[in-house]
A and B are shown apart, each in its own frame.
Chain A
Amino acid sequence: MKIKYLLDEEEIPKKWYNVAADMPTPLKPPLNPGTLKPLTAQDMEAIFPKALIQQEMSTERWIDIPEEVREILKLWRPTPLYRAASLEKALKTPAKIYYKYEGVSPAGSHKPNTAIPQAYYNMKEGIERLATETGAGQWGSALSLATCLFGLQCTVYMVRSSFDSKPYRKSAMRVWGAECLSSPSDRTNFGRQIREKMPDTPGSLGIAISEAVEDAASHDNTNYSLGSVLNHVLLHQTIEGQELKKQFDMTEDYPDVMFGCCGGGSNFPGMVFPFIPDKLKDKKDLRMVACEPTACPTLTEGLFAYDYGDTAGMAPVIMMYTLGHDFIPPGIHAGGLRYHGDAPLLSNLVHDGLIEATALQQTEVFEAATLFARTEGIIPAPESAHAIKPAIDEALNCRKTGEEKVIFISLSGHGHFDLSSYDAYNDGKLVDYVYPAELVKQSLAKLPKP
């Protein structure tokens, strides 16, 4: 049996696919958080380069990938598609399971797919430094790598609890020349305010975003960079799904169902968006399932509504699935999936019924990840493992029905920096958080209107 499906470097896509061109329902415009009027390009220029703002607002179907960006992507792209033969055998399933592994990037995840072009466009427009936030450290590592390759400086505001618990993430950022600060820091007004009010706070992604945005807005040579949610981030990630389509052609199979983990949205949309036209135009019977934690079940339990992108209410107000910008998800081990909202492009497609979502508890996720590691060898990131659990369930169901379904797992990264979380699982110390959706609905039903 053939295990690995590899593409040549020349087959790295030359264009990004913009799903906005094919959406049945157009996106509602993002709003300025101050005026609540539609956001203008000028509103964004304080913190983003013009090229990225154009991409953010574009409805062109195909957008060229600069050659300089493709050259760097060659370091690890195209990424391999694997047939999970050992896992299939362990599950005794007639189903065929495939996974595309993004953990082969230098930073260990899919995040450099957008970090590289973001650093590139900022460099081209004369920006000298990028400021960003990171929760679990995946995005901070990716942007540190990207800025290093384009000769930019990088300041990463890392959520204090992760800064303390994942020391090797910040070591990696340091090797790539970035400055990694524990957030709240004393570098920004917002950070100093929080430190004074709550000296012992573990920090949050919301606080770190606010610090990075303030840093970028208050320095002319500095821009802000975000690793998920925004349209241009999802655009850059479509390089994954385009490769995957070519690789599926090599297998002579076509997926019946695709699973990918979803926090704010980057890897999952990047993998599945290029398949949307197949579903719309060719009426392919393909299920695409976003996998999220029960602790932060934005797509499965959230409201489809306009909400702030950050906790402080400084980021644009966007139409998305949201649990409310004041919701701070509990400290689960898949730190990368702790976001109250979801990408507007993805939210729209879920709302239109083209994409599904499911929510998983962390114990069952780690159990699935362990089976995966013991059969396929790769230790998945806890985030990525959210896609493995439902794929295993689907394959086990095929054992009952005898169906030879083609099941796809988007394996977004490795878990080498998350081994303490695996220890917690093996020591029986994981807590299964859930979102009390019924009680929240009950509480929102009679909320006093502002």
Chain B
Amino acid sequence: MAAGKGRIGFLVNPIAGMGGPVGLKGTDGLAEEAIAMGARPRAMERARACLDLLSKERDAILFFTASGSMGESCLEECGLDYKVVYSALPVTSSRDTIRTCQAFLDEGVDLILFCGGDGTARDVAGIAGSTPILAIPAGVKMHSGVFAASPQAAADLVIRFLNGELNLRDTEIVDVDEELYRAGILQTKLYALAKTPYLPVLVAERKRIYSSDQEDEFKDQIALFASEFMRDGSAYIIGAGTTTSRIADILGLEKTLLGVDVVKDGRLMITDASEQDLLELLDRETRVMIIISPIGAQGFILGRGNQQLSAEVIRRVGIDKLIIISTPHKLAEIPYLLVDTGDEDLDESLAGKRQVVTGYRIAQMKDTLAASRL
């Protein structure tokens, strides 16, 4: 590593990602609700997974951070050198994020490393200016281009960045447009541009939504095929996205675009299901299958936007009961499918060549990787 210590601003949004498993479309302003619904904090855990790997470079990095759960406690646990530059209130908010980042800039950090989702990315990018930012993925929605593919990949990027091995690129900070979403249209809105260190694959591409006529034709073909094989009497857990929601269209059902729904015998059993709903479903139903689609250009099929499909849900359904669907164009732009259920053993067993339905009675083979292996 180059002479002199690398200066890294490190920030955790402790409530990020809590809404996912309980079926919320984000956690901003809903933390208490999420906790009441049984959500567990996961951002700290993912931050530690990244810091553990950085601890082998501890002599080369000086961290700047905010107090307590916003960074200090993780750094302390991992035995890293740090300086607290902002004192957060016990209940943190987006104002704390912004003020912490301002303090980082005052310290002249080389990189801001944060742990959260699209909401946190909006706050950080809003102030970072030309200072590069990189995110440890821990949110419910992660459509922006600053997210590393996994906490482990984030650590690798930080080390390579400090070694001068990476270039910087501009990337979009986006979030789902909530107004359009309420009107039933899934569209991401651009909020800011940011600089991020870049190595293809290790940083997840900004999520793309295709809308060409050809895409529509393939979605119709896939949905028609699905509507045929779904007549077998099983309960189908259907994940988020425009490809999966076309199945609901063809069955004449109202599907939640960003949520997980359950359909059986052509009828909607559960709308916008939480992890708990799915586990209860599995107590009642003997034959359950899951239909999911990779998320935009990132290639994640589990662990992004569908945290309700937890490791426990997947294990109980059975990994051979996972039906992956994607239009050929979208699949062509993804180097491989990624899984990040938070359970590394399960991710490993999901890895390998998997079949992806790409048309009417047509499928392709695609490599699937555990995100932690990247």
Contact = CB atoms under 8 A, between A and B. Distances in A.
State whether these chains interact. Answer: yes
B362 A446 contact: no
A289 interface: no
A432 B358 CA distance: 11
B364 A431 contact: yes
25 contacts: A327-B361, A328-B360, A329-B362, A330-B358, A431-B328, A432-B364, A432-B365, A433-B358, A433-B363, A434-B363, A435-B362, A435-B363, A436-B225, A436-B355, A436-B357, A436-B361, A439-B323, A439-B357, A440-B229, A442-B232, A443-B225, A443-B229, A443-B232, A445-B232, A447-B228
Contact of A436 (B232, B332, B362): B362
B296 interface: no
B359 A434 contact: no
Given A435-B362, A443-B228, 18 more contacts: A327-B361, A328-B360, A329-B362, A330-B358, A330-B359, A330-B362, A431-B364, A433-B362, A433-B363, A433-B365, A436-B225, A436-B362, A442-B229, A443-B225, A445-B232, A446-B232, A447-B228, A447-B231
A431 B228 CA distance: 25
A361 interface: yes
A323 B362 CA distance: 11
Give the interface residue-count category, chain B.
Answer: 10 to 19
Interface string B159-193: 00000000000000000000000000000000000
Interface in B218-252: 225, 228-229, 231-233
A295 interface: yes
A361 B353 CA distance: 13
A197 to B, nearest CB: 14
Interface in A285-335: 295, 323-324, 327-330
B106 to A, nearest CB: 47
A91 B213 CA distance: 48
Contacts of B358: 330, 433
A180 B365 CA distance: 35
Interface residues of A, number: 21
Nearest to B224: A443
Nearest to B229: A443
A327 B362 CA distance: 9
Contacts of A447: 228, 231
A250 B134 CA distance: 71
A253 to B, nearest CB: 37
Contact of B361 (A323, A361, A431, A445): A323
Interface of B: 225, 228-229, 231-233, 323, 328, 332, 355, 357-365
Nearest to A436: B363
Contacts of B363: 433-436
B364 A435 contact: no
A324 to B, nearest CB: 8
B354 to A, nearest CB: 10
A295 B365 contact: no
A434 B361 contact: no
A192 B161 CA distance: 60
Contacts of B357: 436, 439
Contacts of A328: 360
Interface string A414-450: 0000000000000000011111100110110111000
Contacts of A445: 232
Contacts of A434: 355, 363-365
Nearest to A432: B365
Given A431-B328, A434-B355, A439 B364 contact: no
Contact of B362 (A295, A324, A361, A442): A295
A435 B361 contact: yes
A327 B224 CA distance: 13
Nearest to A361: B365
Nearest to B362: A330
B237 to A, nearest CB: 16
B108 to A, nearest CB: 43
Nearest to A448: B231
B56 to A, nearest CB: 34
B323 A443 contact: no
Nearest to B231: A446
Contacts of A436: 225, 355, 357, 361-363
B9 to A, nearest CB: 39
Contacts of B361: 323-324, 327, 435-436, 440
A98 B231 CA distance: 49
A414 to B, nearest CB: 28
Between A323, A328, A443, the greatest number of chain B beta carbons within 10 A of the residue's beta carbon is seen for: A443
Nearest to A296: B362
A201 to B, nearest CB: 11
Contact of B332 (A330, A431, A435, A442): A431
A338 to B, nearest CB: 12
Q: Which 8 pairs across A and B sit closest by C-beta, in order of nearness?
A: A443-B228, A443-B229, A436-B363, A432-B365, A442-B229, A439-B229, A446-B231, A434-B363
A144 to B, nearest CB: 32
Contacts of B231: 443, 446-447
Contacts of A439: 225, 229, 323, 357
A447 B224 CA distance: 13
Between A361, A436, A446, the greatest number of chain B beta carbons within 10 A of the residue's beta carbon is seen for: A436
A330 B358 CA distance: 10
A361 B363 CA distance: 12
Contacts of B355: 434, 436
A324 B360 CA distance: 12
A60 B363 CA distance: 43
B244 to A, nearest CB: 15
A432 B361 CA distance: 14
A329 B360 CA distance: 9
A446 B234 CA distance: 12
A133 to B, nearest CB: 22
Contacts of A446: 231-233
Interface in A329-347: 329-330
Contacts of A324: 361
A315 B365 CA distance: 33
Nearest to A440: B361
B92 to A, nearest CB: 46
B364 A433 contact: yes
Contacts of A329: 362
A284 B60 CA distance: 74
A324 B361 CA distance: 10
A361 B365 CA distance: 9
Contacts of A443: 225, 228-229, 231-232
A302 to B, nearest CB: 11
Contacts of B229: 439-440, 442-443
A443 B364 CA distance: 18
B337 to A, nearest CB: 14
A295 B229 CA distance: 19
A63 to B, nearest CB: 39
Between B228, B233, B328, the greatest number of chain A beta carbons within 10 A of the residue's beta carbon is seen for: B228
Nearest to B332: A431
Contacts of B362: 295, 329-330, 433, 435-436
